[in-house]
Structure 1
Amino acid sequence: MSIAIMSQLFKAHLGSTSRKMLAVRLADFADDEGKGIWPTVGRLARETELSERTVQRILSEFVDEGLLIVRKKGGWKPGEGTRYDFNMVALGRLQAAKMTIEGCHGVTHDTVTPVTTATGTGDTGDAEGCHGDTQTVIEPPIEPSDLREGAREAERQESQESQTETEQSVEKGFWALVKDWPGFAGMPKEPAKRAWLALTADERREASERFPRWLQLLKAQKKSHTPAPSTYFGEKLWLDVPAQDVAAKSANAMAAPFGKLWSATRFAELLLPPSGIVAPPTKFEQMQIDAGQVSLADVMAEKRMRAGWPSVNSMQERARSAQGSMCPLALEEAGQGFQAVKRDGDLLAAWQREHKRRGWPFPEGRLPEWVYFPAIEGEGDLDFLVAEAVERYRERISDYLANRSKGDDHAA
């Protein structure tokens, strides 16, 4: 914990209580030089009582403004956070908060937000800040010239670090990357090393950073073998993998209810074990059970159906008022194989029976004329074909389901 940095931040004018709260919490993780900050977004959200989306937005603002420097991108494995350092140059130039009565923006002293239809709107349902989670306008809480100078200082520092590579550090970086390379033990080492040395310092850094996600990409593409390090370096195969920040920004999208992506997400959630809290029978239900009017199994099955998959229930509740839901783009390709099923037809009735058989919640109320479900194949008994379609979809998204079971909410 750095008391000195926290003290500076308490006195600084950061533009909103949410920004100040997060900045102070980040300082709690930093050492006296402002380094070593790597909590996950989830942890920051829990401890500041901000939404994860708000935390991500503010962190991005701090980086863009030069207050934070990204030292190492996280997200290679579950629970790994991005590592930041405070930019001490920019931190030292923060203006102290003025002892004046200010509006919601502070900097401009306006009481009316300077947001126009051209610049974006906020989510009025969000309790965090005056703009809300989805606000796209970034207020300038620190003097722009100071921030630009701070950002330039950070760039100079990064450039100096990349230029101070030594022969020993380059050699060490090579062996650190290839030591666990699939099949490398039986390959010649010199071609790989020559290709590594031919790269620039920035290319070596990118090749190392993107290597784990490159392996994941090969797995997703069901490649039968892993190219040799000499090929990876020589052909710069890491460029096939998007940068981590680009991938993170496009992880989810708002999907219309009952469309392909929405339905693919709904079925993916149903294929996971129920995670909701299923309450025991009420006194009235217990009386019905004791009187033989209903069985305990039926009562608990109904409760499990209504409470076991809260994310699905939330999607379906929003759909009843024609509201979409945020869905992972990782399922977009799988959703393209879904077929449109006509309302009130025999096939829809078969899907209702399949939901009942599995104890899954089925959308209530009047459905639109066409709803997407996993595609059936062949002809014959509809109940059998529908059950087969579910299992084919389970197999197709098996990697996604495995990642979700491990707690990776993005499961890309």
Structure 2
Amino acid sequence: MSSEATIRRGVRNSRYAAIPNHVFEDSRLSMEARWLLSYLLSKPDNWTVVIGDIIKKGNCGRDKARGMIAELVKFGYAEREQQRADGKFGSSVLVIFDEPRDSHAAEIVGETSGVAFLPQTDLPATVSPSPVPPSPVKSAHSNNLDSANTDCQKEREGARAGSEESDTSVVEDRKRIERDFKAWYRTWPTSLNDSEQAARDAWAALTPEERAACIERTPTFISAVKAIKGKFTFSSVYLKGKAWEKLDDPKSEVALPTVHNPFSRAWMAGMLAILLRPPLTANMPAPTKFQLGQIAQGGDEADAVRIDRLQKYGWPRVNTMHQRAFDRQGVTVPPPLVAISEGFEQVHRDADLAKRWKRAFERRGWPWLPNTGHEWFFFPAGEPDEALAKFSEATARERGDDDAA
């Protein structure tokens, strides 16, 4: 049996969400515990909440949620009841009160809360505890899907308590959730070695919107991981971490390539990664007779012909990038190169360092940056030869992929 305690509202003096002032003024309670008490007191009688709902609504962890509950018990706003069924001990239930049950605690609160404990002019509402036993204990992952009187059920499945139509809708939604889970689970690469139940629990903990996003984006995520030759986590870990959201994180290895403007850090990294590849000499046009004569003479003229042909035909994708730069059109750059480019330094076109970079390009036969009016460029930090060696080492894997378009 689960060790999670189910929370049940005790009988109140009113069916309205009227919360006594001393709930907010009891300085013994932390602000988080006051919020939890206020939240539970705003619910109708016999409202059942699993601890997972508190974690979600309070935007906190499991330990924090348990700590808030412990505060309420310590100062008399909650009492634990051990349920019995067929002569056996059942689930642990918390009964929540709008006044401390401990008389000494009530005196302390009364001293600081003004009229909070004055006798009421009207008789208290004569509401008896509901004869219906509380819902069975659920784990945080189940989100209490079998109970129609929970926050989670209302938010995730849109159930309306006490309605036959609602019950039918809940059954249909649960079937759809299970059907969608099975269809998705078969696509996950590690499903044969995973715990299907752990994945199912993680799937149930997602919102409908998150499940839809997971179904839509998982194929793209799988392709991205394969592209970088990465490893896949267990399906439950993927679901709990909502890893498909990493596709939108520019710093993630599996992020989708994004368009970057000409001469930006990422644009420069994409260009250098292409230039570090061998030139495409097989598709070069044959030299003219004049060029053949210059090549035959050797020396500087032969080198000039070689460099000129490399710059024009060796890296056609870089030439396309340069042409697009005149129209201020960017290119897509893969996330790993974007991350590496963050270490690039800014260099002015007329600076001595820019001139040394230009000479390094010419020695390699690389086409130099076009003059489109930009005054600032970005290069790997350091002197050209050493900086290019480090950049080449850092991007060795990327040069084996299509990393710019």
TM-score range, shorter-chain basis?
0.3 to 0.5
TM-score using structure 2 length: 0.43
Which structure carries more relative contact order (alpha carbon 8 Å, separation 6+)?
2
TM-score (norm 1): 0.42
